[in-house]
C-alpha cells in the first residue's frame, strides 16, 4: 500500500523489497502483476533503462512507465505509452504432447470449470459434446481439462470416447498448443480468457466457445472480450451449429510494431 503513495509523490526506494546486485547493462525492466510495478520503476531508475509493465498497472502513475502492454477489456486510457492488445499476452509453443495420425482429422475439447464467469453446467456440457460429435462424426477427438475442472465433470467426460484424453488432476500438462497446431476445430468452455486468447493467437483451427450454462451471463469485461473477438471472426459462440471463425491475432507482430524504437 505504501508503494502506491510513494509512486504518486515520486519517491523510489529499494527498502520495500529485496534485490540482488545487478552488475550488467540492461535496456529495460519488464514485469507483470501489482506486486512488481513499484520495484520495476525503482530498479529501472537505478539502472538508467526503460520500465515496461505487462498488464495495466492500476493504482500507479501510468505516465511513469516508458511502455505498458494492456488488454482492451481492461479499458486502458488512450496514451502514447500504452499498447492495447485485443487479447491476453501469451506465448504458444507446441510440445509434441499429441501426434496426429496420418490422414486423420481432429477436433479438440478444452474444458475448464467454475470461475468468476460462472458455474459450468455438467448436463449442458454433456449435451454440447453430444451435439459436437454428431456434427463432426469423422473427426478424432482430443480432450484436456484444467485445474478448475471438477470431479463430476471429469466423470462425465470419461463417458465419451477419445483418441487422447488428458485429465489435469492425473496428468498436469498443457496440450493446448499441440491441439491448436493440428485440430480443425477447438471447442473451449467460456471460463478462461487465457485459454481463449491462446486459441485465437495461434494455428489455423476454427474456435468455438461453449457457454457455461443455459442463459449464461458473463462479467462485463469478459463479455466485451468475447464480443470483440466474435466480430473479428476469431471465435464463434457455439449454440448447436458450427461457425467458421478461424481469424488469428499475431501478438508478436503488434508488439514488434509498437515497440520499434521505443525499447
Confidence of residue 206 (pLDDT cuts 50, 70, 90): very high
Check residue 48 and give left, alpha or beta (phi > 0: left; psi -120 to 50: alpha): left
Cα-based distances in Å from 205 to 208, 244, 249, 252: 9, 9, 13, 19
With cell 470419461, the residue in question is: 158
As a whole number, mean pLDDT of residues 66-71 equals 92
Signed CA dihedral, 225, 231, 236, 238: sign only: positive
Q: Where exactly are the structural domains of the chain?
A: 2-85, 106-237
As a whole number, mean pLDDT of residues 7-34 equals 87
Query: Which CATH number does 106-237 carry?
Result: 3.40.50.1950
Q: Among 47-51, 182-186, 210-214, where is mean pLDDT lowest?
A: 210-214
Task: Report the distance separating Cα 29 and Cα 35, nearest Å.
Answer: 14
Confidence of residue 91 (pLDDT cuts 50, 70, 90): confident
Work out the mean pLDDT of the chain and round it to a whole number. 91
Task: Report the distance separating Cα 248 and Cα 116, nearest Å.
Answer: 26
Proportion of the chain above pLDDT 70, given as a percent: 98
More confident residue, 79 or 22: 79
Amino acid at each position: 500500500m505504501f508503494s502506491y503513495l510513494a509512486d504518486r509523490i515520486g519517491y523510489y526506494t529499494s527498502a520495500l523489497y529485496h534485490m540482488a546486485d545487478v552488475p550488467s547493462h540492461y535496456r529495460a525492466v519488464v514485469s507483470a502483476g501489482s506486486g512488481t510495478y513499484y520495484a520495476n520503476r525503482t530498479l529501472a531508475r537505478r539502472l538508467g533503462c526503460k520500465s515496461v509493465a505487462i498488464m495495466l498497472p492500476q493504482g500507479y502513475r501510468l505516465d511513469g512507465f516508458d511502455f505498458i502492454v494492456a488488454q482492451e477489456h481492461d479499458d486502458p486510457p488512450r496514451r502514447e505509452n500504452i499498447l492495447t492488445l485485443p487479447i491476453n499476452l501469451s506465448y504458444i509453443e507446441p510440445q509434441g504432447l499429441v501426434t496426429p495420425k496420418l490422414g486423420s482429422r481432429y477436433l479438440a475439447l478444452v474444458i475448464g470449470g467454475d470461475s468468476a464467469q460462472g458455474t459450468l453446467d455438467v448436463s449442458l456440457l454433456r449435451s454440447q459434446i453430444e451435439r459436437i460429435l454428431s456434427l463432426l462424426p469423422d473427426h478424432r477427438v482430443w480432450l484436456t481439462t484444467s485445474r478448475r475442472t471438477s470431479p463430476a465433470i471429469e466423470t462425465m467426460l470419461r463417458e465419451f470416447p477419445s483418441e487422447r484424453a488428458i485429465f489435469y488432476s492425473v496428468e498436469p500438462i498443457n496440450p493446448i498448443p499441440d491441439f491448436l497446431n493440428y485440430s480443425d476445430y477447438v471447442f473451449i468452455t467460456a471460463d478462461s480468457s487465457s485459454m481463449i486468447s491462446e486459441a485465437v493467437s495461434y494455428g489455423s483451427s476454427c474456435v468455438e466457445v461453449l457457454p457455461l450454462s443455459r442463459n449464461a451471463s458473463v462479467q462485463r469485461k469478459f463479455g466485451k472480450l468475447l464480443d470483440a473477438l466474435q466480430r473479428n471472426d476469431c471465435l464463434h459462440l457455439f449454440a448447436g451449429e458450427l461457425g467458421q471463425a478461424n481469424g488469428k491475432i499475431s501478438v508478436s507482430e503488434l508488439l514488434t510494431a509498437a515497440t520499434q524504437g521505443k525499447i
